[in-house]
Structure 1
């Protein structure tokens, strides 16, 4: 026999047990379909505030030597406590950049990676194989005008303390590091052409 009273009791018990449910520790937040806030992209630091832009040191021009690429073996990065004072990608050709920096707590470490402009040409030549007929061959190589240089000078005397680069009179390694281990008031100069260069500068303290 059907008993409505029993059904009512069961419904009351179900609703009571549902009302006693507790939120998990810390609770939760209903998004309501809204998108989560956008994260701040981890990228370049266009103006860290540590370097002071100054007029580049006058330098003489030199002959351009056609470079060929070589890359050092990959190394595993290690953690450090240095302060980042500059972190930018520069697209050359661009005016020479120069910065004054008072290095109170050495060292000063400048790392950079060069991506030279690549030139592609079509060469019509005879094949060395098969019926030795003439064919079009695609050749890709770095621009003869691609180069980059980091020059660190003593601010007062103009004496070069350290320098390194890619192309011209330097090697064709695309990744290098410049190290200055003595305190001083320095002028850091970045120059180049036909290349995209990522430059990272760090110091022992500021």
Structure 2
């Protein structure tokens, strides 16, 4: 009896072993494994196709912010002039000497010249009516009146420009002198028996760095 039981147990063991061996040979579907929570790292990665080449990423440059163009303010193209000296003076053998370092031309010197006037009174017979004596007063400039303006280069002592005014009439004489070249200048104004109004102007750019460059000596 015992032998019969042992024989049946042995046959059952053999059948169980053969059944387990058949299960291990069944094909395995990778999708089933992944869906059932299998280890993804154990899967074989898909190879990169030969026509795809790995490359270094190109860094996208940051956009350049450009400001809107600013329209330049309209200008006349002419420099703005500033009056640096003005004076009304009666000259009687006097000299006015002025120094200025002209960096940006031009220097404009405006003159209003009035010589001393004399009155000549005389009596003459009238050409009209009863030919009576009449008194006539005539104005004439003092023959001694004169005015001279000299522009001197202070570094060399050379006279750059010179202007003499001697022939006057009864009318006020006006004149403008223009210095068109830069330089360290001394302006000398000398006169006799004459009233003169002086105005000197330069581009205001000359006064940006040196507001004390014009000296009265």
Partner of 2:173: 174
Give 1:94 deviation, angstroms: 5.2
Change (3 A) 1:102 1:136: same
Separation of aligned partners in 1, 2:126 and 2:91:
37
CA contact (8 A) 1:163 1:178 kept: no
CA contact (8 A) 2:94 2:192 kept: no
Partner of 2:89: 90
Structure 1 or 2: more helix by fraction: 2
Partner of 2:118: 119
Give 1:148 deviation, angstroms: 1.8
* Greater gyration radius: 2
Give 1:88 deviation, angstroms: 0.7
1:108 lines up with 2:91 in the alignment: no
Partner of 1:81: 80
Q: Which structure 1 segments of 5+ residues have no match?
A: 1-78
Aligned length in residues: 126
Structure 1 length-normalised TM: 0.54
Separation of aligned partners in 2, 1:157 and 1:150:
18
Change (3 A) 1:156 1:80: closer
After superposing on structure 2, the runs of 4+ consecutive aligned residues of structure 1 that deviate more than 6 Å are none
Separation of aligned partners in 2, 1:168 and 1:129:
34
Give 1:80 deviation, angstroms: 6.1
Which whole-Å deviations, capped at 9, do the CAs of 1:42-90 have from their partners, x for residues lacking one?
xxxxxxxxxxxxxxxxxxxxxxxxxxxxxxxxxxxxx961122211111
Separation of aligned partners in 1, 2:142 and 2:127:
27
Partner of 1:157: 156
Q: Which structure 2 segments of 5+ residues have no match?
A: 1-77, 208-217
Partner of 2:136: 137
For the aligned residue pairs, the C-alpha RMSD in angstroms reads 2.4
CA contact (8 A) 2:123 2:133 kept: yes
Separation of aligned partners in 2, 1:132 and 1:80:
63
Which whole-Å deviations, capped at 9, do the CAs of 1:15-44 have from their partners, x for residues lacking one?
xxxxxxxxxxxxxxxxxxxxxxxxxxxxxx
Give 1:156 deviation, angstroms: 3.0
Which whole-Å deviations, capped at 9, do the CAs of 1:118-140 have from their partners, x for residues lacking one?
11121122323333343321111
Secondary structure (helix, strand or coil) at the match of 2:94 reads: coil
Partner of 2:200: 201
